[in-house]
Amino acid sequence: MEDVNYVSGLKFLQALFIIFISSFKFSSCEIKNTHIIDDSRQIILIERFGFAPDGHVTISLDHVYWRSDEPAAKLYPSSMGFCLVRDVSFPRLLNESIYTENFCVLSSKYVNLVFRFDKLGPDSSYNTSTTINEPDEYNLIFGNCQKEFLVTMNVHTEIYNVNDNGEKDFLPAGQTLLPKLYFLLFIVYFVFSGIWGFICVKQRKNIHKIHLIMAMLLVFKALKLICAAEDKMYIRNTGKAHGWDVAFYIFGFLKGVTLFTVIVLIGTGWSFLKPFLHDREKKVLMFVIPLQVIENIAAIVISEGGPVEKHWLVWNELFLLIDVMCCCIVLVPILWSIKSLRLASKNDGKAAENLKKLTLFRHFYVVLIVFLYFTRFGIAMIESVVTYMHEWVTIVAAEGASLMFYMFIFYNFKPIGKNPYLAIHKDDDDEEGEEEDEDEDEDEDEDEDDDDEEEEEEIA
């Protein structure tokens, strides 16, 4: 009995996890070709789409066949097929699949049946189209009620709404404003980059290397946004991204790596508090950058593959794990700097100046934590509250938080003469050099003491 309860608990947790990560946004290309190969899953989520009135779904199948490792197994084609389920009912459907004996998704009260495989033609192909009369966010699902059979097929789907001009709109109802929104954000960051460039030129005598990397961050962010705008525009009009998704992923990767690099370097005080990095700080960078590479690869697989992929859950788990690791790691250098400044404010003769730097780094630490928590957990909460017709609200919230975070960083760490927060004094360099010399002298003294002890032991 305990084993049964244990297994049921595991299934329940797995269902909760599937519900959670299936809320992630996957491929937004609404003309899709999906290849299912030797798959025995009962429920395969093909696509999620927010329908306006008069939405349309077109499904084309070819090269459909199935096999079973059980020689005595007999196939009933009507036990396989496609159906639509409202997104709000999807968790209930998963719950029903766990606790209902002999469960068949095609017979559930939560689904709207599109067709069963008993309608397949002699050449194992089938084409169908249906109109959505009740607008809502729906999941297109393939259901297999005979788990002993592995299914292989090519699935071509076209899902779209019809706008007021009678034209096809391949973006979900809640994303129709995204092309304009992303373009507006591009203009904002383009102006932001121009202002930052003007400040750097005007204060070129006070520029440090970190300011150039920050300029690169703004450029990559702006390029990512213009690619996102073009990507969404082409998808809305044609159903395909026409290569803009590739550019979006490239600049998204460069922006992500540069952002975490800037956070780590500012946290260490590199180039404006000290002109070098300690070994431990270099190790943090060498750890964060590869993690960002893996995280971006996982994000691409999640977005392009979608839950139809067998290992989609694994990639989601990997993405979440790496994202949490990166968020925790970038906090460490800031804590080191805060500790160092706290000790310096007590021990040297520049207590007031170090106290100002300490205050700034404490503010940076708090703002960074708020930013990371809000963009990870706060956005997820907002997404769970807003309706599918207002999906753009979550984008506005996320991008608004990012813009405020950027403004905080760029304002507080801008190049400016006689800034008590960012000044590097020769004394500081000398102190750092003296600390290194002292460490070396201590090591030499320890070696000499060890040699003397060995000689005394030999004489004895």
Give pLDDT tens digits for 333-369: 888 888 887 777 666 555 556 677 778 888 888 999 9
Residue 410's alpha-carbon distances to 9, 119, 298, in angstroms, are: 48, 62, 30
What pLDDT does 440 receive? 42
Nearest-angstrom CA–CA distance, 450 and 433: 26
Percentage of the chain beyond pLDDT 90 is 47
Which amino acid, residue 333?
P
pLDDT digits (tens, 9 = 90+) for 165-206: 889 999 999 999 999 999 999 999 999 999 999 999 999 888
Question: Looking at the domain that runs over 30-169, which CATH code has it been given?
Answer: 2.60.120
Over range 250-256, report the average pLDDT.
95
- What does the block give as tokens for 57? 């779904």
35 phi and psi angles, rounded to 5 deg: -110, 115
Q: What is the pLDDT averaged over residues 221-226?
A: 97
| Same fold across 30-169 and 173-433 | no
Q: Running DSSP on this structure, what letter comes out for residue 77?
A: G
Task: Classify burial at 438, counting beta carbons within 10 Å of its beta carbon; exposed 0-12, middle 13-18, buried 19 or more.
Answer: exposed
* CA 147/CA 140 separation, integer angstroms: 19
Tell me what pLDDT residue 28 has: 53
| Confidence tier at 102 by pLDDT (50, 70, 90) | confident
At 448, the pLDDT band (50, 70, 90 cuts) reads: very low
pTM above 0.95, yes or no: no
**E strands in 240-315:** none
First-to-last CA distance in the chain? 73
Residue 6, pLDDT > 70, answer no
Residue type, 265: L
For residues 53-74, give the mean pLDDT.
Answer: 90
Domain ranges of the chain: 30-169, 173-433
Q: Which fold has domain 173-433?
A: Rhopdopsin 7-helix transmembrane proteins (1.20.1070)
In Å, the largest CA–CA distance within the chain is 102
- 402 vs 352, residue with greater confidence: 402
d(CA 106, CA 91): 16
Mean pLDDT of the chain: 83
Q: Looking up tokens 């397949």, which residue turns up?
A: 120
pLDDT recorded at residue 140: 95
> Strands 137-144, 80-86: parallel, antiparallel or unpaired by DSSP?
antiparallel
Res. 312: pLDDT tops 90:
no
- Predicted confidence band of residue 382 (pLDDT cuts 50, 70, 90): very high
Q: Which residues contact 263 (CB under 8 A, 6 or more apart)?
A: 330, 368
